[in-house]
Structure 1
Amino acid sequence: MEHKHLVTLGEKWMKETGSQCMVVATLIATIVFAAAFTVPGGYDQQNGIPIFHSKATFMVFVIADAISLFSSSASIIMFLSILTSRYAERDFLESLPNKLMVGLATLFLSIATMMITFSVSFFVLYRKGLIWTPILISVFAMTPVLLYMVLQSGLFFDVFRSTYRSRYLFNPQKHVLYYKTPMF
């Protein structure tokens, strides 16, 4: 009963955070899904195979796009599980923080690999001649990744610290009021 107000506030915050992050993960999944079928350079009209399919940079594009799709899908599932949680008081100790940390980590991975996919597509297209163009674009494409990392690292580490480092504060291993000696 003492924590009822805290549980209500925690539930509200978790639902808002989960729904906002789920929207971002859904947008990323939509973008990288579309990118998988609109490959840089297009398709050969004779056989339907991508024009740059034999280039190493094209394989990096495909792999980064797939990782981004899978990690954003995992992020969507994690944030959906947060939204559909029962929000019992004990869920706030481990279950919900674990889901939030996994959701934030997979969202970060999807953002990073989406930007890698974007950058590599320029290396596929401008492999000869203007090599400075994809390098410059790649440097600027890492800005959102670094911003996300800087802005969300505080939340990630606070959740980690409160979940794993303060466990002994809330669940002491020894009895606080008396010391029980082991029997032989």
Structure 2
Amino acid sequence: MVAYAIEHRQEEVAKYLYKYRADIFYDIDEDGNNNLHLAAKLAPHFQLDRISGAALQLQSELRWFKSVEAIVPRFYTEQKNKNGETPYQVFVKEHKNLLKEAEEWMKRTAESSTVVGALIITIMFAAAFTVPGGNDQNTGFPIFLNTTEPAESSTVTPFKVFIVSDAVSLFTASSSVFMFLGILTSRYAYEDFLISLPMKLIFGLFSLFISIATLTVAFCATLYVMLRGQRKEVIPITVLAGIPIMCFAFMQFRLLVEIAALTLRPDIFGRKTATTRLFEWLGDNIPIIPSVVDVVIDGPIERLIGGLTDRRIDVLTRSISYLRRRNG
């Protein structure tokens, strides 16, 4: 039953068996395969087809392999079957084609998103220097900087909304392009598809969505500035401007949620939480974070732990221990 549950990715069955009889995961079959060898085999196609994209399929396979690896004896990782193969060698052989498909899928997604992000950067950079209404010939300041109508206050005006949304759109588009460039320049090893590449894709797609949304806000604010008092024309155009946001959300938001659910989901047997995974990725990609945590760890963090529940303490201590190791 354990072998069937592992080979066919029956998570709930495997968790139930592990909870009551962890020792039954130590069996070896007649071909010399331990349970880690079975976890290294490619999942049935009907199960892989439930997951969108080859990259997410490979991530799911890696997640299952790593979860089983965490509960079996350590020497199982180097144990060979009758064919002289270790579990990792079996995994590489079984997932060779899936790795190629995952690399192509990730590159296509990153390339298309990079083009969109670069286009937004170009538009919003130019818009910042060609403000609606032009500049005052005497002072050089934008004409609509403080107000667009005599009755309006000078605190929050449509022109200021335009400036802020333009800046946010420019910066988030730049961030998304950098994330997608990080994907394109990756080595595309198996381990990269577990945390590194999916996290970059999450941040890239989320930044791109924010950039498109704020671009639309900037466009609507510009219309309001230029067509003062013409609400019959402004309101329908503003409603139509929301269509690109809805289209992007309909086409990409489901993918974004699925990637986040797979990446930040706790390990199957509860050995690593979503918070720990996020800390690991941040520690690997932002070198200053381990140093900052190491500075504050003996002060506020220690006092904070005293008021937490056991589960939160476990999450926080695992994350802190990882960052301490990263910091040497």
> Shorter chain as normaliser: what TM range?
0.7 to 0.9
Aligned match of 1:123: 224
| Equivalent residue, structure 1, for 2:117 | 25
- Whose Rg is larger? 2
Instruction: Please give the secondary structure, in 2, of the residue aligned with 1:139.
Output: helix
Whole-angstrom CA distance in 1 between matches of 2:182 and 2:200? 8
For residues 172 and 89 of structure 1, do their structure 2 counterparts lie closer, same or farther at Cα, with a shift above 3 Å needed?
farther
* Residue of 241, 257, 262 corresponding to 1:157: 257
Match of 1:134 among 225, 234, 243: 234
Q: Percent identity?
A: 47
Once the two structures are TM-superposed, the CA of residue 127 in structure 1 deviates from its matched residue by 2.2
Read off the aligned partner of 1:104 and give its amino acid letter: L
**Counterpart for residue 173 of structure 1:** 271
Q: How does 1:19-168 map to 2 (within 5 A)?
A: 19-55=111-147, 56-128=157-229, 130-165=230-265, 167-168=266-267
In 2: Cα distance, 1:71 partner to 1:172 partner: 34
The root-mean-square deviation of aligned C-alpha atoms, in Å, is 1.5
TM-aligned CA deviation for residue 142 of structure 1: 0.7
SS state of the match for residue 157, structure 1?
Answer: helix
Gaps of 5+ in 1: 175-184
CA distance in 1: counterparts of 2:134 and 2:237, whole angstroms: 21
Q: Distance in 1 between matches of 2:184 and 2:131?
A: 35
3-state SS of 1:168 partner: coil
CA distance in 2: counterparts of 1:37 and 1:9, whole angstroms: 43
Encode CA deviations 1:12-33: one digit per residue, 9 max, x unaligned. Answer: 1101100100000000010011
TM-score (structure 1 length as normaliser): 0.88
TM-score when scaled to structure 2? 0.50
Return the letter of the residue paired with 1:168. D
Q: Deviations over 1:69-125 (max 9, x none)?
A: 000000100000000111110110111110001000000000000010001001111
Count of residue pairs the alignment pairs up: 171
1:126 counterpart letter in structure 2: L
- CA shift, 1:138, in A, is 1.0
More relative contact order in 1 or in 2 (CA 8 Å, sep 6+)? Answer: 1
CA distance in 1, matches of 2:234, 2:143: 19
- The answer to which of 156-165 and 49-58 deviates more is 156-165
